[in-house]
A and B are shown apart, each in its own frame.
Chain A
Amino acid sequence: DGGITQSPKYLFRKEGQNVTLSCEQNLNHDAMYWYRQDPGQGLRLIYYSQIVNDFQKGDIAEGYSVSREKKESFPLTVTSAQKNPTAFYLCASSRQGGYNEQFFGPGTRLTVL
Chain B
Amino acid sequence: RKEVEQDPGPFNVPEGATVAFNCTYSNSASQSFFWYRQDCRKEPKLLMSVYSSGNEDGRFTAQLNRASQYISLLIRDSKLSDSATYLCVVTAYNTNAGKSTFGDGTTLTVKP
Q: Give me the interface of A with B, judged by CB distance under 8 Å.
A: 33, 35, 41-45, 48, 50, 56, 58, 88, 90, 96-107
Whether a CB of chain A sits under 8 angstroms from the CB of B34 is yes
Question: B97: nearest residue on chain A (CB-CB)?
Answer: A98
CB pair B96–A106 under 8 Å, yes or no, is no
Whole-angstrom distance between the alpha carbons of A44 and B87 in the complex? 13
> Would you give the shortest CB distance from A52 to chain B, in whole angstroms?
15
- Kindly identify, within residues 31 to 60 of chain B, every residue whose CB is under 8 Å from any CB belonging to chain A: 31-32, 34, 41-46, 49
Asked, given contacts A99-B32, A99-B93, whether A45 binds B100 with beta carbons under 8 Å apart, the answer is: yes
Whole-angstrom distance between the alpha carbons of A99 and B101 in the complex? 11
Q: Provide the residues of chain B in CB contact with A44, threshold 8 Å.
A: 102
A sample of 10 cross-chain residue pairs with beta-carbon separation below 8 angstroms, ordered by A number, consists of A42-B103, A45-B100, A58-B99, A96-B97, A98-B96, A98-B97, A98-B98, A102-B46, A102-B89, A106-B42
Asked, given contacts A45-B99, A48-B99, A56-B96, whether A98 binds B91 with beta carbons under 8 Å apart, the answer is: yes
User: Is chain B's interface secondary structure helix, strand, loop, or mixed overall?
Assistant: strand
CB pair B43–A98 under 8 Å, yes or no, is no
Whole-angstrom distance between the alpha carbons of A48 and B87 in the complex? 20
Q: How many residues of B contact A (CB 8 A)?
A: 24
Asked, given contacts A42-B87, A43-B44, A104-B45, whether A97 binds B97 with beta carbons under 8 Å apart, the answer is: yes
> Would you give the shortest CB distance from A93 to chain B, in whole angstroms?
12
Asked, given contacts A42-B87, A43-B44, A104-B44, whether A97 binds B34 with beta carbons under 8 Å apart, the answer is: no
> Would you give the shortest CB distance from B1 to chain A, in whole angstroms?
15
CB pair A104–B43 under 8 Å, yes or no, is yes
Whole-angstrom distance between the alpha carbons of A44 and B99 in the complex? 11
CB pair A50–B46 under 8 Å, yes or no, is no
Asked, given contacts A104-B45, A105-B43, whether A99 binds B98 with beta carbons under 8 Å apart, the answer is: yes
Whether a CB of chain A sits under 8 angstroms from the CB of B104 is yes
User: 8 extra interchain contacts, Cβ-Cβ under 8 A, other than A45-B99, A106-B43?
Assistant: A43-B87, A50-B96, A90-B44, A98-B96, A98-B98, A98-B100, A99-B98, A107-B43
